[in-house]
Amino acid sequence: MTFIKPLNHHPKLEKNNLGLTRRDYEGAVSSLCAGCGHDSISASIIESCFKLNIESYKVAKLSGIGCSSKAPAYFLDQSHGFNSVHGRMPSVATGASCANRDLLYLGVSGDGDSASIGIGQFIHAIRRQVNMVYIIENNGTYGLTKGQFSATNDLDSKNKYGDDNLFKPIDLATMAIQLGATYVARSFSGDREQLIPLIMGAMQHKGFALLDIISPCVTFNNHASSTKSYDYIREHNEAVGKTDFVPIGEEIKTSYEEGTSVEINLHDGSKLSLEKTDKNFDPCDAGKSLNYIREKEKEGKVLTGLLYVDSKSKDLIETLNMTETPLSQLHQDLICPGSDVLNLINKDLS
């Protein structure tokens, strides 16, 4: 079921530095339900790429299985996409990123994909510091199979049919901080203003960047007794502050009161600035951040925004001491040792 969008653009559409419009970053027409949070996230990804002047063909979109994993078809048409198997996107992304270090890897997953069937791969991709943006479109439910609980659903939150969820949730964001992810943010699909700078920051970050985005399922998990509904999140969402993405060469203009703002230098020279709502919060200290998230959790709040960042750590490519040239582009002369070497090896073996 793929609909073709009309090709003609309005001539006055805004263009970025590459001369591209937002339309150039779109994908196929979404087949998700009307009002699905995932479509808002796709729109924010498109906006982020547009603003960052990203060349689509230098992005690889990867996903697993589920509603969220369909989403990569709905943005960046000129990017290669890979819809892999359930819960296994992290391994495919790991191999892909080792093969060609020059591309931007954008993984899109869901709570079923990452918190259940693929939790092992999720954990190990973080542990290895795969250089990628990992978006979890978190709706607390299995949409494609019609509304079973997922492992991120809150205890006692009810499903659409009125059943209680009997188990405590897995918080992928705090888990990621504990495992050493170097960029961890939580956001809400309905808050584009917060989400877009966070995605842009993640894209410019070197190392594993996790975005746990609460993305309500309008069909199966948007009822009054759900803790992943639009209404619930709007009501309980508490942001750590306001994040701004500052492109390379631009200065942060606003000056904040001492201790209320943090400036983070990203790998490519761009910056993130965070205007904090609470002086005690420090996104550069994993331990403090975890405590702060827990405190807010006890207050019944869902803490969103940039939760943790470390912009200086090594990624997998560095750890493996890989050559600057993508492995996929190494010429045969460099990688095949040839007959003279083989004769020496033969000698050693005889």
Partner 1 sequence: MHNLKKIESISAVNDFVIKFANVNGSGSASANQMFAKAMFRMGIPVSPKNIFPSNIQGLPTWFEVRVNENGYLGSRGGVDIAVAMNPQSYSKDVEEISPGGFLLYDSTWKRNFNRDDITIIEIPFTQLCVDSFKNPKQRALFKNIAYVGALSALLEIEYKVLETLISEQFEKKPSLIEPNLKALNLGRDYVIENLSFPIGITVSRSDKLENKILITGNEAAGLGAVYGGATFCSWYPITPSTSLAEGFEKYAKKYRIEKETGKNLFASVQAEDELAAIGMAIGANWNGARAFTATSGPGISLMSEFLGLAYFAEIPLVLFNVQRGGPSTGMPTRTQQSDILACAYASHGDTKHILLFPSDPKECFDFAAKAFDLADQLQTPVFVVSDLDMGMNDWVCDKFEWDDKYTFNKGKVLSKDDLDEMENYGRYLDVDNDGICYRTYPGTHPEKGAFFTRGTSHDEFARYTEDGDINAATLTRLMKKFRTASEIVPEPVIEINGENSCGVIFYGSTSPAIQEAKDLLKEKGINIDLMQIRSFPFNLDVWEFIANHDRIYVVEQNRDSQMRTLIMAEGGISPEILRPLVHFTGDPIQASFIVNKISEREVNYKSHINAKKR
Q: Which residues bind partner 1 (CB under 8 A)?
A: 1-2, 28, 55-58, 60, 62, 72-73, 77-85, 88, 90-100, 102-103, 120-121, 123-124, 128, 320-324, 326-330, 332, 334-339, 341-342, 345-346, 349-350
Q: Parallel, antiparallel, or unpaired: how do β-strands 208-214 and 237-239 relate? A: unpaired
Q: What is d(CA 139, CA 134) in angstroms, rounded to the nearest whole number?
A: 16
Between 280 and 343, name the residue whose CB sits nearer to partner 1.
343
Token digits of residue 120: 């092992």
CB of 57 to partner 1, least distance (A): 5
Please identify, using beta-carbon distances, which residue of 75 and 142 lies nearer to partner 1: 75
CB nearer to partner 1: pick between 90 and 110: 90
Cα separations in angstroms, 86 against 104, 197, 211, 311? 22, 29, 19, 30
Smallest gap from residue 330 Cβ to partner 1 (A): 6
* Greatest pairwise CA separation for the chain in angstroms: 76
Q: How many Å is the Cα radius of gyration of the chain?
A: 21
CB 106, min distance to partner 1, A = 11
What's the closest the beta carbon of residue 218 comes to partner 1, in angstroms?
22
Return the number of the residue (31 or 280) whose C-beta is nearest partner 1.
31
Reduced to 3 states, what is the DSSP secondary structure of residue 329? Answer: helix
Residue 265 to residue 300: CA distance in whole angstroms: 32
Nearer to partner 1, 94 or 226 (CB): 94
Distance, CA of 338 to CA of 343 (rounded, Å): 9
270 CB-near residues (< 8 Å, 6+ apart): 204, 245, 246, 247, 248
Residue partners of 153: CB distance under 8 A and separation at least 6: 111, 140, 141, 159, 165, 169, 221, 227, 228
Q: How far is the CB of 246 from partner 1 (least distance, A)?
A: 27
Q: How far is the CB of 315 from partner 1 (least distance, A)?
A: 13
* Smallest gap from residue 329 Cβ to partner 1 (A): 7
Which residue number, 258 or 348, has a Cβ lying nearer to partner 1? 348
Cβ closer to partner 1: 160 or 180? 180
Using DSSP's 3-state secondary structure scheme, residue 291 falls into helix
DSSP states of 4-31: PPP-PPPTT----TTS--GGGGB-SPP-
